Amino acid sequence: MTPMQRLDAAFDSPPAGQRERLQAAWLASGLADARAPLPLHNMGEAPLVMSERLHAELGQRLRGLCGWLQARVETGAWADDAQWPGITRPDVLAADLAVVQAPEAPGGWALHWVEFQAFHSVTVAAQALHLAWQALYPALLQGLQPHELPAGQASWHQAMRDWLAPLPGGVLLEHAPLAQATAFDLLPTATLLGLALAEPHQLRCEQGVLQRQVDGEWMDVPQVLNRLILHEDPQGEATARLLAQARAVRWRGHPAWFDRIHKGLLPQLPLPADERCAPLAQWRALGRPAQALVLKSARSWGGTGVRLQVDAAELDALAATVDAPHWIVQPRYQAFPLATARDGAPLYGELRCMLALPPDGPPWIAARLARLSRGSMASARSWSGLPGEGLAPVYAPPGSPRTF
């Protein structure tokens, strides 16, 4: 049994200009900004429905990760951070998993962790993509949603506001937002939540209160939805000092979490032997030759900082540097096709789940996406517009139980 089913199997041939029609529907979804449209080559050619087994195993992985992180919160793992006092509980988790070849498993495939991080990204774009497909083929997607809202909540929009911007006003913080590769998600997120876009240099802190200048007047900022990665900000150290002074502000996605929860924690997860990771300095403890490992930077994202071809000399040399703690090694795997493109080419990829972590309730799934590629590296940087590549909304099989 395949892990995914395309939802357009009824179509014998692609409608003319399919990606153009999808982009137009995406722009009309109410969750898009014409200043930063989702590029055509980022759009996959069909929504996907998980098999019952994939849905069950994905749920098991997500529950296990959330439980592991909750245990760390309860034991005070981040309670003694002098730089960011009081920032002790993450509110978001982006989890990426790959479907890999596993000859001994049913169907010849299994799930493996790729990475995870406490960072907000592409949640609104995923919903916009779902709405675009729904507008084009309403019967095909009837009753399907790429998310699982909190119990008793029927509105995705309201759930997002309750989660990310519970107070009126505030800002979405990012450096050079219009220049970001994810501007297609960032701009409509600010609009949806009623947040002003702000860059660090536009803020100040007065007696613990964060403020933004509006029409020559400094206005208090009650809440911040953060998309800023401090070490990518040209004034990162000054920005960190400014934000550390802001005590009277409600945070979502505090910048501290990018450096706390990321793929660098994978070696600490209790994983099966064939999936176990290690800090770079301990790569030989895995008992695998260097050529069977992938080297990853814990501080990278979007497929950067990944070295697929390494040897023992390279690993040992990097392990002897001061940067060694920022690197891990992960067993190399062979990707298993998630779907097939219209021209018959196999499509490989990763599943991304965006999880909301409310302080007073169980996690819930804000978005599910697949990133599909014709090669084994599921990175947007490799997409060239070939059939099948791009982002696709992912749905649970009808009638399946909730994940949380």
Q: What is the pLDDT of residues 61-73, one digit of tens each?
A: 999 999 999 999 9
In whole angstroms, how far apart are CA 307 and each of 176, 222, 332?
28, 41, 11
351 has pLDDT over 90: yes
Residue 66: CB atoms within 10 A of its CB come to 18
379 has pLDDT over 90: no
How far apart CA 197 and CA 294 sit, in angstroms, is 37
What pTM was estimated for this model as a whole? 0.93
How far apart CA 305 and CA 109 sit, in angstroms, is 26
Mean pLDDT of 93-112: 95
Single-letter residue type at 212: R
Beta bridge partners of 119: none
346 three-class SS? strand
Both tokens assigned to 359:
């302080």
What whole-number percentage of the chain has pLDDT above 70?
A: 95
How far apart CA 281 and CA 295 sit, in angstroms, is 11
Both tokens assigned to 97:
């998993």
Spatial CA neighbour of 243 closest among 185, 197, 199: 199
Mean pLDDT of 4-27: 74
381 has pLDDT over 70: no
Single-letter residue type at 324: A
Mean pLDDT across the chain: 92
368 has pLDDT over 60: yes
pLDDT bucket at 189, cuts 50 / 70 / 90: very high
6 has pLDDT over 90: no
**Selection from 6-15, 228-237, 380-389 with the highest mean pLDDT:** 228-237
> pLDDT tens digits for 297-327?
987 766 677 898 999 999 999 999 999 999 9
User: In Å, how far from its chain's centre is CA 48?
Assistant: 18
> pLDDT tens digits for 200-214?
999 999 999 999 999
In whole angstroms, how far apart are CA 150 and each of 63, 66, 228, 289, 313?
15, 16, 27, 45, 50
Mean pLDDT of 149-175: 95
Are 123 and 367 in contact by the 8 Å Cβ rule? The answer is yes
115 three-class SS? strand
How far apart CA 288 and CA 333 sit, in angstroms, is 13
E runs forming strands in 157-315: 171-173, 196-198, 203-206, 209-214, 217-220, 223-226, 250-252, 278-279, 293-297, 306-307
- Of the listed ranges 53-57, 158-162, 247-251, 299-303, the least confidently predicted one is 299-303
53 has pLDDT over 90: yes
Residue-level length of the chain: 404
Mean pLDDT of 252-280: 94
Bigger pLDDT: 80 or 67?
67
Name the helix (H) or strand (E) containing 355: strand 346-356
13 has pLDDT over 60: no
10 has pLDDT over 90: no
Name the helix (H) or strand (E) containing 329: strand 327-331
Q: What is the pLDDT of residue 317?
A: 95
